[in-house]
Amino acid sequence: MSQKPSFFGHRERLRKKFLNSGINSFLPHEILELILTYSIPRKDTKTLAWALIKKFGSLSDVLDAKEEDLKQVKGIGPSTIVLLKLMRSVMRNYSLEKIKDRKEISTPENLLNFCKASLQGQKEEAFEVIFLTIRNTVIAVERLCQGTLDKALISPRKILEKAFSYNAAGLIFIHNHPSGEPGPSEEDKNLTETLTRITNSLGIMVLDHIIVGRGKVFNMKANAYISSEEDK
């Protein structure tokens, strides 16, 4: 009987480590190694995992990478590309379902995790609104604009029409910067100020505006660009 290659034992150890200790016990390249074992059955995946991390910078960047960029990495075939894209989509859909299933946004971490799952890695700009009850329970999440952000498409009137239709008491805005830097532009600041002033005057509170960049987020509430009633 022929001896199994050494990487078979390594794969089994990775799987047992995951089942026994969870994902927090893994380094980023180990997570990628384990993922790759399901698309590359007869090869050591450690070298390829390191190559992907080196090229793209981080695990999240690997999952966000374009198909054409992944193809440039030696050893990456169609099955692996599908698996990586599937992993990213499953992560996004899981987070979206959890927050859309009338769950409360009980912590800042919950909110930021949702924002990153929804918009991080998107290649086009998008603007989303989370509509909330007075208890911060999610009523709905809607993407009101995608592509080049046209302020006519995200006007206060359009947002208020949606808010009134949901009988929403609170709003959280989310949009992304595909360039990667999440810091707000002057246009972002002006838009936030305008939307906040108009909606708040009608009794619908803007609770936050989150800007999603590459691996980072900018919280406009935490950085004092939005003031609550308690702050006034």
pTM of the model: 0.66
CATH superfamily of 104-231: Cytidine Deaminase, domain 2 (3.40.140.10)
How much is the pLDDT for 177? 87
What is the pLDDT, as a whole number, of residue 70? 94
Per-residue model confidence as pLDDT tens digits over 106-125: 667 777 777 877 787 777 88
The DSSP string of 130-152 is EEE-TT-BEEEEEEEEESS--TT
Q: How much is the pLDDT for 231? A: 53
Residue labelled with tokens 């009987």: 1
The confidence score (pLDDT) of residue 52 equals 95
Q: Are strands 138-146 and 126-132 parallel, antiparallel or unpaired?
A: antiparallel
* 12 CB-near residues (< 8 Å, 6+ apart): none
Contact between residue 130 and residue 138 where contact means Cβ atoms under 8 Å apart? yes
pLDDT for 156 equals 84
Domain ranges of the chain: 6-92, 104-231
Cα–chain center distance at 178: 12
CA distance 205 to 229: 9
Residues of the chain whose pLDDT is less than 50?
1, 152, 230
Distant-in-sequence, close-in-space partners of 94: CB < 8 Å, separation ≥ 6: 117
